[in-house]
């Protein structure tokens, strides 16, 4: 003859069941995202820069660069609302998707300061030895991809 389960054993399981069911209803909030360190106002590819005393502007904005006509490809960035000190670096990829050039990190901004506008740029030379085709530029801020663009190098 089977004995009924003691009431204490059944009632002892109720708190454990309640904890398990309550845990199933708990939702954890995602981690709060920090404000971005800057807003990208412009990311431009151009063949030259018009450099002034405290500023520069892209000149010859384009996506196709011709050997014999264009001397350089500039990757020009204008940042808005830059807060604090950060690091930018560029990676240039050839049409075969091989890393052609990676820059050292450059410091942008300043700790504890705010900049309404801030500019930075990097460049490669367009020469007869460069591979024709679609190239890719990737710009990283603080080690994270910030922006990427494609451009073409071809014969004149």
Tokens found for residue 22:
């309550």
CATH code at 39-154: 2.60.40.1930
- Tell me what the pLDDT averaged over the chain comes to: 85
Closest listed residue to residue 89, CA positions, set 51, 144, 49, 135: 144
Handedness of CA 81, 43, 105, 118 (dihedral sign): negative
Distance CA 123, CA 46 (A): 9
Give the β-pairing of 64-66 and 144-154: parallel
- Residues 119-155 have pLDDT tens digits of 999 999 998 889 999 999 999 999 999 999 999 999 9
pLDDT at site 31: 55
- Residues 4-15 have pLDDT tens digits of 555 555 555 555
Coil, helix or strand for 24? helix
The domain locations on the chain are 39-154
pLDDT at site 29: 56
pLDDT at site 37: 79
Distance CA 119, CA 130 (A): 27
The radius of gyration of the chain's CA atoms, rounded to the nearest angstrom, is 28
Given a cut of 60, is residue 33 above it in pLDDT? no
Tokens found for residue 56:
């520069």
Is 126 buried (19+), middle (13-18) or exposed (0-12) by CB count in 10 A? Answer: buried
């Amino acid at each position: 003859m089977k004995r009924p389960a003691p009431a204490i054993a059944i009632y002892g399981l109720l708190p454990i069941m309640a904890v398990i069911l309550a845990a199933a209803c708990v939702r954890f909030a995602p981690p709060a995202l920090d404000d971005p360190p800057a807003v990208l106002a412009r990311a431009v590819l151009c063949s030259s820069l018009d450099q002034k005393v405290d500023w520069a502007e892209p000149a010859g904005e384009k996506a196709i660069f011709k050997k014999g006509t264009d001397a350089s490809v500039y990757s020009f960035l204008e940042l808005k609302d830059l807060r604090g000190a950060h690091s930018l670096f560029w990676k240039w990829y050839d049409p075969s998707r091989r890393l052609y050039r990676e820059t050292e990190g450059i410091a942008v901004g300043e700790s504890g300061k705010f900049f309404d506008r801030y500019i930075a740029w990097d460049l490669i030379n367009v020469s007869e030895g460069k591979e024709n085709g679609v190239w890719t530029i990737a710009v990283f801020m603080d080690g994270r991809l910030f922006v990427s663009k494609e451009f073409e190098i071809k014969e004149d």
